[in-house]
A and B are shown apart, each in its own frame.
Chain A
Amino acid sequence: MKLELRGITKRFGSVVANDHIDLTVEPGQIHALLGENGAGKSTLMNILYGLTRPDEGEILIDESPVAFTRPKDAIAAGIGMVHQHFMLVPVFTVAENVVLGDERTRRLGPLGFGLLDRRRAREDVLRVSQRFGLTVDPDALVENLPVGVQQRVEIIKALLRDATLLILDEPTAVLTPGETEDLFAVMRSLKESGHSIVFITHKLNEVQQMADTITVIRQGKVVGSMPPTASDEELAARMVGRAVRLAPEKAAATLGEIVLSVESLTVSDDLGNTAVRGVSFDIKAGEILGIAGVQGNGQTELCEALVGLRPAVDGRFAVRGRDLTGHATREILHAGVGYVPEDRQAEGLVTEFTVAENLALDRYDQPPYSKGLALNLDVMNAAATDQVKQFDIRTESIGSPASSLSGGNQQKVVVARELSRSVGLLIASQPTRGVDVGSIEFVHRRIVEVRNQGSAVLLVSTELDEIAALADRIAVMYEGEIVAMRSADVSREELGLLMAGGGAGAGASASAAGEPASAAAPA
C-alpha cells in the first residue's frame, strides 16, 4: 500500500499541532517519524487512524483519496495502529482483546444470536503469533502481562485485521533492551512480507538501525527528510533546531555524608507477593546511585516504599539519620525528598488540573504559594510561567489542563516541579521516559546540577544509556534483590548479563545478594 498525506492541518485552540504536513509512505518501507515532544506526531497518526478529524488536508491510499471518520474506516483500508498508550482492556484475555470488534461467532438457533467462538479466536492468535514470531499465550489476562508482551498483543491485533500499514507510536519507550530487539526482529519480518511501518521514536540509534526513510517534524511542520545514515548529531540538530550535547558533562563526584540509608527493606506488591527482598544500600551527598534492571524487578515498589506510598513489610530507611519508615508521604516530602514517579499519568499529575496547578502541587500549602488560607495565585502563576520557560514545556498556556499536553511535555511538568525545589534526596524513576533528545539533555543536566549542589540522587532507569550517562555507582536489581553493586565504569555487557539474572563474576545470584551490604559501606 502506498500512503500519501497532503497538507494535513490540525489546530487545538491556538496551538497548531499539524501545519500542512505532507508525508508519503512507500510500500514495504519502514518510515521513521522523528520530532520533539509536542511536535505533532501522535496527532498526525490519530488523524490517519480516523480518531481525530483534520481541519484541512487529504489522505490518499494508492493514489485515490479516502476519508476516515472512524477508526473502523482506517482499519478497513488496511491501517493498524499501536498507540503510545496501549488500547487494551486489562481484564480481558489476549484472545478477547485481539478479536474485539471483529469477532467470529457461532450461530445459536435461528435468532442468529452469536456466541463468541473462543476456539477460533485462540487459533487466530496462535496463527499470527507463529507466523511473525510474536510469542504470547492467548489465554493470559492482559493485566498480568509485561508491557513488552502487551505490545505484541497490539501488533497481533492489527495484523489479524490484515493491516498492511502499521503505525507504531513510540513502541520502544516502555520496552527493555531485550524486548526492543524482539520488536525489531518482528518489524523486519513484517517488512519482508510487504508491510509498511510508520515508526515513531525518540531514540536516534533505533532510527538509524531500522528506518528506510526519516521525516523530521518540528512544531507541527515537516522540516526535512534524512537518510538513515545521518549521524546522531545531525538528526538531533534537525529535530531540535540547534546543536545538542548527547551526554552530560559531569565532574567526578565529591562525596559528603550519608543522606539515604536503607536497611534490609522488604516490600510487597499489590498482590501481596514480596517484590523487594531485604535490600540494603546507602547514598551519600553529591552522589547519583543508578538502579539498573529490567522493568518489574522491584524498582517500582522500592521507590514507592521510600516515599511512603507503600508500607515496608520489614526493614527501615532513614534520610539524614532520621528514620522515616512508616511515615506519611507528606512528611517524607517535607523532610526534603523529591520524587519523580515512573507513571506520570497515574501518580505524577492531576491531569484535569492546569499546568500551573500541577507545578505547585507539592508546595501549594506553604508560603509564598499560600497566603493564610488562600492561594497566592500571582506567585503561583509567576513561578509556573518561569518553569514552563526554563523547562521548555510546550503548552498553549499555563492555564491549560495537563491532559492536553503531549506525553513528553506531561513528563516535563513533573520533572520541573520536583527539580525546582531544593531537596536533599531526589528519587527519580524513569525521569526521561518519552522525552525528546533536546529535553533529555536538559533534564540530565539538571539532575547532575542537583547532585553537584550536594544532594543525593536515586535514579531508577531501565535505559542503560541513561544509567551510564548519569550514575556514579550502579546497583543492579533482579527479582527484588540488589544482585550487584558496581562502579560507573562497568561494561555494558556485564550490566546486561546481571540484569538478566546471570551473576557475571559474582557467580550465582544467591551469593551476589549478600554483597551489596558490604559493597555499599566502603564506597
Chain B
Amino acid sequence: MTTTLAPSLPPAASPRTRRRRRVDKKTLGGLVIGVLGLVDIVGFGLEARSGDARLGLTLAGASVHLSPLKLPPGPTAIVAGVITLVLAALWLRAELGKLARRAVIVGSGMLFMLSFLCWASSGKTMSLVGLLQSSVDRSIPIVLGALAGCLCERAGVVNIAIEGQLLFGAFAGAMVASASHSLYLGLVAAALAGALLGLILALFAIRYAVNQIVVGVVLNVLATGLTGYLYDRVLVKYQNTLNSPAVFSRISIPLLSKIPIVGPVLFDSSIFLYLTYVILVAVQIGLFRTRWGLRVRAVGEHPVAAETVGIRVLGIRYANVMLGGLVAGIGGAYLTIGSVGPFGKNVSSGKGFIALAAVIFGRWTPIGAMFGALLFGFADAVQNILSVLGTSIPSDFLLMIPYVATIVVVAGMVGRVRPPKADGQPYVKS
C-alpha cells in the first residue's frame, strides 16, 4: 500500500504539527530568560558606573532602623546575570514542573529588576521601602478596577467601562467631599457614581442585549466627555468650593506597622488599602466558597443551565454589574480623595484598561488579578522613582515602562487562558 503514496514526499510529514509548535514555545521562553541574563551582565554589569548603590530599607522616622543595603552595581548585576543564565539553561534542558517554571520566571524577573535598580542608583541612595510602598499604593485603583471586572465577567458581562467608572468615581468623590467637607460622603458618592454607570451598562447589555463591548466603549467616551466638560465649566469656576477636597490621612495599624519593611508597605496606608484588602478577600471567598459565588459562576459559564435549576440569570447579572460599578467607583475615589485631592481631567489615565488586563492576567480570579495589578503598580513606581533619581534614560521611555510591562505580560499569558464561557453573550429568554 505504500506504493500509492508518492515516494518523493519529504520525510517530515508536516511543518505545522502540534508537537513542534510546543517545543518552539519552550525554546522561546528559554531564549527570553537567557536574553534577560545577558542584559544583566552586559547592559548593567559591565556598563555600571562606580559607586555603591544604597537601597534604603526604612523610612524616615521609623522606630526600628535598618541600615541601607550597599551593593556594588557591577558585580551584583554580573552575579544576577550568571544565575539567570543558569536558570535559562535549566529551563531549556530540564522538564520543569508548573511550580518550578513559575519560580524561574519570577526569579529571573526579580534578578533583572535588582541589577537594573542597582545600575540606575549607583552612587546614590534609593529607598527600597519607599518604592514598594508606592507600588502598593499605585496598584489600589487597579486592584479595585480588576475586582469590578471579575465581578462582572464571572457573571457573563464584559465590562470595558471600568475606566469610565474610575473616572466617575474620582469626579464624584472629589466634588462631594469638597462640597460637604466629609470625605466619607465623598467615598459613598464615588461608589454610587460607579454603580450608576454599572446600571446603565446593565440596562443596555442585559435588558436590550446591545453588544457589551460597544456599550462599554460608549460609556467610557461618555465618562471622559462628561467629567471633562463639567470640570471645565463647573469645577474650574468654583475651584474652592467644589474641587478642593481634603485627602484621607494615613492610618497606621498598631504593632503590624512596626514590622520592618513589611509594616510600612502593607499596614501604614489610607483607608483605601484596608478597604481593598476587605473587598479582595470578600470577592475571592464569595466567588469560590459561597452559594452566591457558585450561582454567579454558573450564570457566567452556562446561563441556560443555571436557569433550568431555578436561578434568576438576569437578576444575578444586574446585581453583579452594579456591584462591580460600586467597587470601581471606590477605586476611582482613591485617585482623588485617596491621593492627590482635587479632580483633574482624565485622572484615571488608562488604569481601567490596565485593570482589564489584570483580570485576564489573573485568569478571572481576584487574587490573580491582584498580582497583575501589583505588577503594574510596581512598574509605575519604578518609573516614578527613576525620574526622580535621574538616569540616562529619556523620561518619555520611563513613562512607557508600566504600559510596556502590561503588554508583555498579557501577550505572554493570553491564548492559554479560558474566560467564562458565556462571557459577553447576552441571555435572552425564549
Contact = CB atoms under 8 A, between A and B. Distances in A.
Chain A bound to chain B: yes
How large, as a class, is the contact surface on chain A?
A: 35 or more
Contact of A103 (B17, B294, B302): B294
A318 interface: yes
A272 B305 CA distance: 29
A282 interface: yes
B25 to A, nearest CB: 12
A127 interface: no
Contacts of B430: 51-52
B421 A90 contact: yes
A382 interface: no
A83 B308 contact: yes
A325 B289 contact: no
Contact of B301 (A89, A258, A521): A89
Interface stretch (A109-117, A188-196, A355-363): A109-117
B5 A87 contact: no
A157 to B, nearest CB: 7
Interface string B293-319: 111011001101111111100000000
A282 B3 CA distance: 12
Interface in B146-205: none
Interface in B1-26: 1-2, 4-6, 9, 13-19, 22
B211 interface: no
Contact of B307 (A71, A157, A261, A323): A71
Interface string A93-104: 000100111110
A280 B2 CA distance: 10
Contacts of B294: 92, 96, 99-100, 103, 116
B291 A261 contact: no
Contacts of B289: 115-116
A72 interface: yes
Interface stretch (A57-65, A223-231, A309-317): A309-317
A105 B294 CA distance: 12
How large, as a class, is the contact surface on chain B?
A: 35 or more
Interface string A317-346: 010011101100000000000000000000
A520 B4 CA distance: 13
A268 B19 contact: yes
Given A261-B1, A321-B5, A313 B309 contact: no
B18 A268 contact: yes
B329 to A, nearest CB: 22
Contacts of A83: 308
Nearest to A117: B291
Contacts of B290: 105, 113-116
Contacts of A520: 1
A430 B13 CA distance: 29
B18 A75 contact: no
B297 A92 contact: yes
A261 B301 CA distance: 42
A93 to B, nearest CB: 10
A51 B308 contact: yes
Of A157, A272, A311, the most chain B CB neighbours within 10 A belong to A311
A52 B293 CA distance: 27
B308 to A, nearest CB: 5
Given A88-B305, A115-B289, A318 B14 contact: no
A103 B291 contact: yes
Given A89-B301, A92-B298, A326-B13, A71 B308 contact: yes
B4 A311 contact: no
Contacts of A96: 294
Contacts of A66: none
A100 B302 CA distance: 12
Contact of B310 (A75, A89, A92, A105): A75
A334 B4 CA distance: 20
Contact of B6 (A105, A312, A321): A321
Contacts of B18: 268, 272, 311, 313
Contacts of B308: 49, 51, 71, 81, 83, 87
Of A100, A325, A520, the most chain B CB neighbours within 10 A belong to A100
A157 B1 contact: no
Nearest to B9: A323
Given A114-B290, A325-B14, A318 B4 contact: yes
A4 interface: no
Given A70-B310, A81-B308, A261-B1, A100 B295 contact: yes
Given A103-B291, A323-B5, A326-B16, A75 B309 contact: yes
Contact of B5 (A88, A261, A517): A261
A326 B18 CA distance: 11
Interface string A120-132: 0000000000000
Interface in B79-111: none
A520 B1 CA distance: 9
Contacts of B301: 89-92
Nearest to B286: A113
A263 interface: yes
Contacts of A268: 18-19
B19 A87 contact: no
A459 to B, nearest CB: 20
Nearest to A315: B13
Contact of A311 (B6, B17, B311): B17
Contacts of B311: 100-101
Given A114-B290, A313-B18, A316-B13, A100 B306 contact: yes
B1 A89 contact: no
B309 A101 contact: yes
Contacts of B2: 263
B311 to A, nearest CB: 5
A312 B305 contact: no
Contacts of A157: 309
Given A116-B291, A261-B5, A313 B302 contact: no
A72 B1 contact: no
B297 A321 contact: no
B150 to A, nearest CB: 15
Contact of A272 (B22, B302, B309): B22
B291 A114 contact: yes
B291 A311 contact: no
B295 A316 contact: no
Interface string B319-342: 000000000000000000000000
A157 B305 CA distance: 12
Interface string A255-267: 0001001010000
Nearest to B304: A87
B15 A316 contact: no
A326 B298 CA distance: 39
Given A71-B308, A81-B308, A312 B14 contact: yes
A315 B17 CA distance: 11
Interface string A482-523: 000000000000000000000000000000000001001100
Interface of B: 1-2, 4-6, 9, 13-19, 22, 285, 289-295, 297-298, 301-302, 304-311, 421, 430
12 contacts: A89-B301, A91-B297, A92-B298, A100-B295, A103-B294, A272-B18, A280-B1, A311-B16, A313-B19, A321-B6, A326-B14, A326-B17
Given A90-B421, A92-B298, A101-B311, 11 more contacts: A71-B307, A90-B302, A91-B301, A103-B294, A114-B292, A261-B1, A263-B5, A268-B19, A272-B22, A313-B18, A520-B1
Interface of A: 49, 51-52, 70-72, 75, 81, 83, 87-92, 96, 99-103, 105, 113-116, 157, 258, 261, 263, 268, 272, 280, 282, 311-316, 318, 321-323, 325-326, 517, 520-521
| Cβ-closest 9 pairs across A and B | A326-B14, A101-B309, A72-B310, A87-B305, A103-B291, A87-B308, A89-B301, A311-B17, A89-B302
